[in-house]
Amino acid sequence: AQSVSQHNHHVILSEAASLELGCNYSYGGTVNLFWYVQYPGQHLQLLLKYFSGDPLVKGIKGFEAEFIKSKFSFNLRKPSVQWSDTAEYFCAVNRGGGADGLTFGKGTHLIIQP
């Protein structure tokens, strides 16, 4: 069974700082990779996803992630964070495409200080 590891449970940054959230997965086969965000009081929503092709994927709100197959990693990045990026971020994987259940990491709580 696959598993997902997020390295940081809590991250505190100042506005305009650069962000990188780590995500590693364990599964030897082909996977699809996702980052979800949950803003306070809101639903989980998709930030970006990787199925195949260019390993550098761009998502909404200026986020991007890079799939490095050799490292089993899919780290999330943003060059300059804003206060509104304060949220919980979840990395997730599945094997069968969008209609397959997701395996989530434990999440990273990101706090951006003004």
Partner 1 sequence: GAVVSQHPSRVICKSGTSVKIECRSLDFQATTMFWYRQFPKQSLMLMATSNEGSKATYEQGVEKDKFLINHASLTLSTLTVTSAHPEDSSFYICSAFHGFDEKLFFGSGTQLSVL
Binding site for partner 1 (CB under 8 A): 4, 9, 36, 42-46, 90, 97-99, 101-107
CB of 95 to partner 1, least distance (A): 12
Q: Shortest distance, CB of residue 83 to partner 1, whole angstroms?
A: 23
Cβ nearer to partner 1, comparing 11 with 102 = 102
Q: Quote the least distance from Cβ 106 to partner 1, whole Å.
A: 4
In 3-state terms, what secondary structure has residue 84? helix
Pick the closer one to partner 1 by CB: 79 or 98.
Answer: 98
Closest approach of partner 1 to the CB of residue 12, in Å: 17
CA distance 64 to 55: 10
Nearer to partner 1, 5 or 17 (CB): 5
49, 47, 45, 48: which is closest to 32 by C-alpha? 49
CB neighbours of 26 closer than 8 A, spacing ≥ 6?
A: 2, 3, 4, 5, 72
- Residue 73, classed as helix, strand or coil, is strand
